[in-house]
Chain A
């Protein structure tokens, strides 16, 4: 009975109808749309009407208020919006019932059949008008060259209501002003969960909708909700196409950089592969050009790429309109020419990091080459290393400002203990492990000077030598220079207070 119709406002319909014959006994204040007109000759037929219908009771039915009461109840159960009966007087209780159910109650002096025909005709005319508006909007949207233009067109059609492109709760583009007490029309642009809509306030932007991909959101006056749904649906494919076009443009712009990523080892499994040879031929910028490599690193980006990519590329374009951004396995990177002072680049990068990327798990690292002399691959690796050490949502990490505290993040104490238990099991099992490790670290800190280490530890140098010999028997070899650095790094990273209890010293050597 009720095909999907465009949202015709009930008030519009009643105003459009020559209302001389209609008397409203109760009209709900909330906006309601009408999809169908149903003329009922037996009360139980109300059980077959669809939602948003106007129900008219045939003359022979409405013999008394009780039929109207029951019809109101059934109308409410079927989510009909209005009940129209032939002209009669109602007791206050019947009107109160209509008020409680939120169903409009009207009488007509024109005759039920005639009123039904008139309303059906007016409903068709109003729907045709809406269809025409939607078609015109669709044509304008198709001609738009950018997403802001599309949003502007929709907003104008909705009386300057706010229309936004939202990704993961982050507003990428917005146009219009928010009306008082709006309701939200929502169109999900990704293939799943398409077309969901919700009441303003029921769903937070970072709630369940945060799990969606890009979506178009319009905050409109309640009376416009059905129309806004239709308008968003008409614009959805165009917005999606423009998003894909942007993505394609980004790919084309970043194409020259892609070889850097491939050759610099900026991948999840090879970010610090120092064995790769430098490739001077890869440098595309003129030698001597000041440049900074920027890496945006995002955990498990491959699984979330579809949702995160539009935000990252959009934010990047806003910050660096002419600098291409390229994808890599664990994020994005770019080479930014340093035409401006480095401090301004740092500020711009921090604004970028603070523009919502942190919420998506993006960490930003940067490596500067102020003289344009560094190999690009080296520069990218440094930026990649900085991004690995940067905290998502935290400050942008500059490779130049690396310090020992940051280095410690490369090998946290817990990981160091695991590694030491595997590499030096005898040492860790020894009751004097703590003193021996402290002695070895001190000895290496003092560049192999037993005297200096003894002075630093406050023990006799013979004690140091004794402990070093004992260390050698436990597998800590200090006679191979190539192993000294890794041994030093590993033992330095150990938290001596967190060693297994059984290894605590029981006596001074």
Chain B
């Protein structure tokens, strides 16, 4: 059902977007939330949220998202029209008008950017995305899994420089866009994966914006923490909640695997209830959770953290020694658990996910 998002929806969407992507920087999400709320107030209404099925199947849509390399965009703040420029360039290259935008990842700041862009351009925000969570690479999308092209891709840098890249293979697009982002000034506002509504409906993660809003509604409610977990379990299929205290953080202690953005680090926590040793492997986000040496969750599983006292969303900067956190894992979109999906998103974890996930050999 097509509906117009209000201020409360945007707030919940932001909470949900931060929850499913435990990154080091939630400030950017909040910044875009506040910008969007101010714009809603100015315009007297929010953006239109359109289910995929409500669009003409042949209607062309595009994903919206930041791609950064090295410099966080909070350190070189966008002027505001970067995405409008990129969308205009993409329409020009495609030769057809775009009739909807969707986030490159329905998580973190890119989920909020899409809302803001929809509001600014007046295009509908399509209730879908190609990740269902956030992955670090532009090529790690369900649309790429389906063999669809990532290009052409239009980019706008922080200084207003633009580029349009005619590229087909998503893996190649990732390398080129990442290199361009570096050259453009540390980040680029991109419009990529131009697909029809029919293609997005068939191969995207459908309903992901609505799900983020529902997560936010639960987390922002006045329910007790445990009641929130019960609701989230019902909504997301949460597999595990471990309350643990941080005992050690190792940062940048090893080289990154080639081709991945660099921020490798580890955090060690001790389970409050049973004394189990929990280890989080972090590379921009939490890649893997190991409990007493056994892998409990690994990409594409979503691993995130909340604060035990009120189930508010925590970030990687909450991983300071002595802090107590609730670690939560739940499955990602079903497409990621196919063999092709795992191969695309498990590059570093593949070597360690063996058949033995616990239980001593006899």
Expressed in whole angstroms, the Cα–Cα distance for A141 and B266 within the complex equals 59
B281–A66 CB distance below 8 A: yes
B292–A66 CB distance below 8 A: no
Q: Give the residues in chain A near B359, CB-CB below 8 Å.
A: 77
> How many residues of chain B are within 8 Å of chain A by beta carbon?
27
Given A42-B351, A79-B361, A92-B248, check contact A97 B266 (CB 8 Å): no
A43–B248 CB distance below 8 A: no
From A65, which residue of chain B is reached at the shortest CB distance? B266
Q: Annotate A80-111 by CB proximity to B: 1 below 8 A, 0 otherwise.
A: 00000000000111001100110000000000
Q: A65-B250, A93-B268, A100-B292 are in contact. List 17 more A-B contacts (CB 8 A).
A: A43-B354, A44-B352, A47-B354, A47-B355, A47-B356, A65-B266, A66-B279, A69-B277, A69-B279, A70-B293, A70-B294, A70-B352, A73-B290, A74-B354, A79-B360, A91-B248, A91-B250
Expressed in whole angstroms, the Cα–Cα distance for A101 and B354 within the complex equals 19
Q: Annotate B333-362 by CB proximity to A: 1 below 8 A, 0 otherwise.
A: 000000000000000000110111001110
Q: Give the residues in chain A near B294, CB-CB below 8 Å.
A: 70, 73
Q: Give the residues in chain B near A92, CB-CB below 8 Å.
A: 247-248
**How far is the CB of B319 from the nearest CB of chain A, in Å?**
14
Expressed in whole angstroms, the Cα–Cα distance for A91 and B268 within the complex equals 9
Indicate if B253 sits at the interface (CB-CB under 8 A).
yes
Q: Give the residues in chain B near A96, CB-CB below 8 Å.
A: 277
Indicate if A405 sits at the interface (CB-CB under 8 A).
no
The range of chain A's interface size is 20 to 34
Indicate if A64 sits at the interface (CB-CB under 8 A).
yes
**Which residues of B pack against A, CB within 8 Å?**
247-248, 250, 253-255, 264, 266, 268, 270, 277, 279, 281, 288, 290, 292-295, 351-352, 354-356, 359-361
**Which residues of A pack against B, CB within 8 Å?**
42-44, 46-47, 63-67, 69-70, 72-74, 76-79, 91-93, 96-97, 100-101
Q: Give the residues in chain A near B254, CB-CB below 8 Å.
A: 63-64
Partner of A74, one of B255, B268, B279, B356: B356
B277–A93 CB distance below 8 A: yes
From A63, which residue of chain B is reached at the shortest CB distance? B254
Which residue, of B277, B293, B295, B356, has the highest number of chain A Cβ atoms within 10 A? B293
**How far is the CB of B321 from the nearest CB of chain A, in Å?**
11
Partner of A70, one of B255, B290, B361: B290
The tally of CB-CB contacts under 8 A between chains A and B is: 76
Partner of A76, one of B268, B288, B293, B355: B293
A93–B356 CB distance below 8 A: no
A65–B279 CB distance below 8 A: yes
Q: Give the residues in chain B near A70, CB-CB below 8 Å.
A: 290, 293-295, 352
Q: Give the residues in chain A near B356, CB-CB below 8 Å.
A: 47, 74, 77
Partner of A97, one of B277, B288, B295, B360: B277
Expressed in whole angstroms, the Cα–Cα distance for A64 and B290 within the complex equals 13
A73–B292 CB distance below 8 A: yes
Expressed in whole angstroms, the Cα–Cα distance for A91 and B247 within the complex equals 10
A93–B247 CB distance below 8 A: yes
Expressed in whole angstroms, the Cα–Cα distance for A73 and B250 within the complex equals 20
